[in-house]
Structure 1
Amino acid sequence: MTLKLLLSRLTGFGDFALLSLLGLFVAAWLLWTGARRMALLWLIALGSCAALIALLKVYFNGCPLTELAMRSPSGHAGFGSFIYGGIALLAQSQRPRWQAGLIALAGGLWIAAIGYSRVVVRAHTGPEVLFGIAIGASVLFGFGLASRGRDHSRFPLLAAIVGAALGATLFHTLNWHPTFEAYLARLSHEYAALLPPCSNN
């Protein structure tokens, strides 16, 4: 398997459907373990991240920054940064410091790999990927601050990893990759021109 083919498979781990299922798994686990406040904070952050990425996609589709190669922030990189970063954040709790450090490093490398895969498959430019990661990381930072000091049980990291792998494999086998890109692009052409920077073009 060539590196390009491997990265084309890897990019599936950033699909919105898979990430949404992982996000709901995290919320369900928090509720099941009694961390209801954290579950609420997680769901708020989850919805905020998805909404922010969608709004920015609508805006930049209609008002692209061609000089910065910015037409559509990467949702795979952005939502993936929040979901996988959040899983890494939760998984660090109740573990030895060296394990927490390895989890943080692995999470960062995984997010970077998904972002790089978007460039390799020519779905996004480098700036679009970096902007997407910045969005997801910002929302995750807010979740981390809001949930600081709140105890929760040891996160089932292995279950999340296996679930993500099985989900990505299933979606790839079925060739099922639901996306809202066409809908967001249509919205951008209808409404983004009303925004001040676009109205001056």
Structure 2
Amino acid sequence: MTSTEHVEIEGTPMVATLVPGSEIGLLALHGSNEGGTAELADLVARRCGATSLVFTQPGVRRPVHIPSARMAADHCALLREFLERVFVTVSLHGHMRPDAPHTIFLGGGNRAAARVLAEALAAGVPRFPAVTDLAAIPPALRGVHPRNPVNLSRLGGVQVELPLTARTSGSTDVPPGPVADALTAGVKELMSRAAP
């Protein structure tokens, strides 16, 4: 059952939407800033039966970008519920690095899970190289801050930084099918490895 919460973080009104599912969680902290991330989180979670939590700023022409480490607001009930429910988080973000227009960076604290997703991406969308070596990921995209929500679930998680063409189609926020398929395969593999 979908739950929504109106929450203010650092003076910015947001809507958090939680769809409960399995103990793998798809997270989009910047659904209104980073096109396609909210849509991809929702799509992959539905395909896998995973839990999803998406933050948006509906009706705002210029959404405010709050750094991930400052999005862990203790007063956000749905974020608390998400973190209590899931043990691995896959947090979807967008980057616009001109020196890496096709690269997907896989940061976050759970390096084993990052490698699982990298294998799925390499198999499904080889035109988007997946980088897991933290030293090769730009510091701002590494997702290793201890207060970043991706690292607050029981086993931490993976911060997936997607270039524009890996999360949007043309001028729309519709994620490309092959990327959605590859991420779905990776999340399903995480789920199978976590099964008793």
Shared fold by TM > 0.5?
Answer: no
Specify the structure having the higher radius of gyration (Cα): 1
More strand by share: 2
Normalising by structure 2, what TM-score?
0.29
**More relative contact order, 1 or 2 (CA 8 Å, 6+ apart):** 1
Normalising by structure 1, what TM-score?
0.28
